[in-house]
Structure 1
Amino acid sequence: MHKSVFTLVSATVLALAATGIAVIAQPTPAEAARKEVQCTGTDDATIINNAITASKAGDEIVILGRSVTAAEPAVCVINKTIVLRGDRTYRGDSRTGLRIKQADSVNLPALLASDTWDANQAYSGNPIRVERLTLDGNRAKNTTGTVGLMLRSWGSRISDIQIEQTSSDAIRLSNPSKNGTTIDSATNTMVNGVISDVYITGSGGAGVKVLDPDGGVITDWTFTRSWVRDSGTSAVESDNAAGWLLSDLHLYGNASSALDLNRCFGTSIQGNYIEDFGYQATTAEAWLYGIRCVVQEGATTTISNNKIHNFRDAGKTPPTGPHYYYIALDGVDSGAGNVVVTGNAILGNGTADQTGLQYEKKSGASLTVVSTGNLVKNVTKPLVKVPNDTTVTVNAGL
């Protein structure tokens, strides 16, 4: 195909030249290459990292694991972090066909990580794509600090992967680098990424963590069509949810909250199924959320068509002491927050101190909520406004 197109273009150039029309010759574009990397069971991390170092922008790095038995997927066992350069695709041949597993007792900071995180740069990396593989944190033999996928690259695409048994977060989008260097927000951001069709299970921390303590850097991402179960903290914890779309997620069995989101600004939360959040709470001072948004002034946030349930599953019965909020909005920063909450279905389990909808001004000047068409059942308090005065307005819209 390449040769045929180039021949056609060359013929056109010659024809134009024959008419006297000036033609500027175009260089032949560099072709991206598929580079296969074969793990051997001996220092697989070095083999993979060397192949990445030797690659060029546009390349697809296909990682081939070492087959242990016919009944098990091919595996690469790593004792160093795999550093992902930008403008490249990283994949296995299938999600169930390649397992990248942390070796025993190495407690890596991350299994895979963006290059600018590893190199402590003050900017985000170029886009990467990671797909069609499984990351195994080997949590039983690595008990502290391992993140599955450490992202510090804008415009990235993460799809069709499984992440399991990490001692820390399964996926972390991180403004701070390895040594704590932050992205210079005056000149750089980390935006416009997509995480989709991902299955996360058994992480010691959050399923997805957005670490952006200074704010304004990690915005406008999409997290969709994915499953997060049995996380040690929350399914999704975010310092910065501005411009994010969180949709069509199934979040279940997570020890703390399901969606715990700061800086909601033009945020869309829609079509998610949440169940059995907060089941590991043991103290009466715990606050646990199905969906929590700390609302900033400005662009309206929408929360629609979510199903939030808390059943009494065997072994995961929520205790009666903590405070459960199925949808909670907190105003912030002396501003006027605006949120639409519509078409959500909330089903509690009848234990004490459960609130279906809580709209609280907190440090904001006011909070206006269009709240309509929500089903709220089997909770102690269906709707609470705090304070119950004109600074918190709840209406059905037009």
Structure 2
Amino acid sequence: MPKPRPRQTAGAIALTLAASGSAVVIQPLASAPAIAARVSATCVNTAADARTIQAAIDASKEGDEVVFKGPCLINRTITLRGRRTYRGDAKAGTVIKQADGANLPAMLASESWVTDQAYSSDPVRIERLTLDGNRDHNTGTVGLMLRSWDSRIYDVDILGTPSDGIRVSNPSKNGTRLRNTMVNSVISDVYIERAGGSGLKVVDPGNAVTDWTFQRSWIGFSGESGVDAENSAGWTFSDLHLYATPKNAIDAHRCFGTSIHNNYIEDFGTKATARQTYYGIRCDLQGEAGTTISNNLIHKFGPRPAVTQPANTRQYGKAPAPQQDPSFVYLALDSVNYGTGHATVTGNSILGHGTRRETGLLFRRGRGNGLSIASTGNLVDNVGIPRSIGSGVRVTGGY
């Protein structure tokens, strides 16, 4: 299905009717300007800090700025109410850490996710703070759980979360799905390191989480992928630096008007296992809209990863399975989900180890009707299979 239209909102205008002879004149009512307040939550680095933070948020009003003064220690999920700004004094000064053994589902989370509403939360802005997931002493925790539309996340460090660093989620805490869309948000200038799951994960079994931008950020030493997006329709992934990634650097599904550009991928598939395929950049496409993948740098700098032999030991008289090395694909458009896919692949630089288990560019139409690609100006060096094109794929241009 195509991506939905962005959620529309209309500002309410109060009007009065005034008699002027036989005519009726419509006049806007003057309204008092909103006065935003600054609400402080001052932590003392004890388990009581979570109550302090939540009390400050609950006492705030729409338009207010809630300031966290750290260091803070939390043992409960902080619920972020909409139409507010949340900020720290500085990333080094405001560190919100998960307490040992808290095992929270999320450290900070949109209100609609916590309360299991069927509609996305109103916008939030989060900036200038650090989230420490305390991964060594907790399990299953997402650093920042977003279920708010038209939001802004800026200048935030997310370190050592047991699960994903940031998760943008259609389902709520109990699995309730959105009945509306969740669009038009920006995540920028964040640093995500040592997430137990993916750096950024988009969970969208429907078609609600579209038209976001993730830009100018760093993701390193994740437990799984750098970016793992179930729905990439209308998304822009740009100017990201992704390194030391065990699985896929950017794994983008249901691309529809998607832009992936100017990203620097130092490595991917660093913890490869036998018979698996790992991707630098991967898109599967929706029909009816174009996608652009341009000016990305995709490398494998590290040594060839060690292979984990599947555990198929001599049981019931069977010999161990033969070794099958993993495969590495630097840039793939490997499936069209419906209709004909359209994409432009230009100006990408790919540098590999020169083995036959590496493919530079891979184009497949999957179950779709066809795939049309303009592929020009790409550098593919030291890769065993520079380009692989499947049936039903039309490629114009050289490399």
Q: CA deviation at 1:298?
A: 1.1
Q: Return the alpha-carbon distance in structure 2 between the equivalents of residues 260 and 151 of structure 1.
A: 19
Q: CA deviation at 1:282?
A: 2.1
Q: Return the alpha-carbon distance in structure 2 between the equivalents of residues 61 and 221 of structure 1.
A: 24
Q: CA deviation at 1:243?
A: 0.5
Structure-2 residue corresponding to 1:376 = 380
Instruction: Return the letter of the residue paired with 2:77.
Output: T
Q: CA deviation at 1:317?
A: 3.5
- The two structures have a TM-score, normalised by structure 1, of 0.87
Structure-2 residue corresponding to 1:34 = 38
Structure-2 residue corresponding to 1:358 = 362
Is it true that 1:76 corresponds to 2:66 in the alignment? no
Instruction: Report if the CA contact (8 A) 1:321-1:352 is conserved.
Output: no
Instruction: Return the letter of the residue paired with 2:63.
Output: G
Which runs of 4 or more aligned residues in structure 1 lie more than 4 Å from their structure 2 counterparts after TM superposition? 21-25
Structure-2 residue corresponding to 1:239 = 230
Structure-2 residue corresponding to 1:249 = 240
Structure-2 residue corresponding to 1:115 = 111
Q: Return the alpha-carbon distance in structure 2 between the equivalents of residues 23 and 114 of structure 1.
A: 38
Structure-1 residue corresponding to 2:22 = none
- Structure 1 residues 64-112: Cα deviation after superposition (integer angstroms, max 9, x where no partner): 01xxxxxxxxx10000001000000001011122100000011000000
Structure-1 residue corresponding to 2:260 = 269
SS in 1 for 2:334: strand
Structure-2 residue corresponding to 1:193 = 185
- Structure 1 residues 294-349: Cα deviation after superposition (integer angstroms, max 9, x where no partner): 01101100000000000125xx7465811100000023334100000000000002
Instruction: Report if the CA contact (8 A) 1:211-1:238 is conserved.
Output: yes
For residues 18-97 of structure 1, what are the structure 2 equivalents within 5 Å?
Answer: 26-42=30-46, 43-65=48-70, 75-97=71-93
Q: Return the alpha-carbon distance in structure 2 between the equivalents of residues 172 and 317 of structure 1.
A: 28
Instruction: Return the letter of the residue paired with 1:81.
Output: T
- The two structures have a TM-score, normalised by structure 2, of 0.87
**For structure 2, which runs of at least 5 residues remain unmatched after alignment?**
1-24, 308-323
Q: CA deviation at 1:396?
A: 1.4
Instruction: Report if the CA contact (8 A) 2:356-2:385 is conserved.
Output: no
CA gap 1:22/1:204 in 2 versus in 1, 3 angstroms:
closer
Identity of aligned residues (%): 57
Q: Return the alpha-carbon distance in structure 1 between the equivalents of residues 203 and 264 of structure 2.
A: 24
Instruction: Report if the CA contact (8 A) 1:292-1:327 is conserved.
Output: yes
Q: Return the alpha-carbon distance in structure 2 between the equivalents of residues 131 and 152 of structure 1.
A: 17
Q: Return the alpha-carbon distance in structure 1 between the equivalents of residues 263 and 289 of structure 2.
A: 21
Q: CA deviation at 1:146?
A: 0.2
CA gap 1:382/1:87 in 2 versus in 1, 3 angstroms:
same
SS in 2 for 1:282: coil
SS in 1 for 2:284: strand
- Structure 1 residues 264-292: Cα deviation after superposition (integer angstroms, max 9, x where no partner): 00000110000110111122x21100000
Structure ranking higher on relative contact order (CA contacts 8 Å, 6+ apart): 2
Aligned residues: 357
CA gap 1:24/1:140 in 2 versus in 1, 3 angstroms:
closer
Instruction: Report if the CA contact (8 A) 2:254-2:337 is conserved.
Output: no
Q: Return the alpha-carbon distance in structure 1 between the equivalents of residues 213 and 108 of structure 2.
A: 20
Q: CA deviation at 1:258?
A: 0.3
**For structure 1, which runs of at least 5 residues remain unmatched after alignment?**
1-20, 66-74
SS in 2 for 1:257: coil
Superposed CA RMSD in Å reads 1.6
1:294 to 284, 295, 301: 284
CA gap 1:30/1:362 in 2 versus in 1, 3 angstroms:
same
Structure-2 residue corresponding to 1:162 = 157
Instruction: Report if the CA contact (8 A) 1:307-1:344 is conserved.
Output: yes
SS in 2 for 1:140: helix
Instruction: Return the letter of the residue paired with 2:109.
Output: A
1:258 to 249, 263, 283: 249
- Structure 1 residues 207-239: Cα deviation after superposition (integer angstroms, max 9, x where no partner): 00000012x200000000000001111000001
SS in 2 for 1:48: helix
Q: Return the alpha-carbon distance in structure 2 between the equivalents of residues 171 and 119 of structure 1.
A: 19
Q: Return the alpha-carbon distance in structure 1 between the equivalents of residues 28 and 354 of structure 2.
A: 75
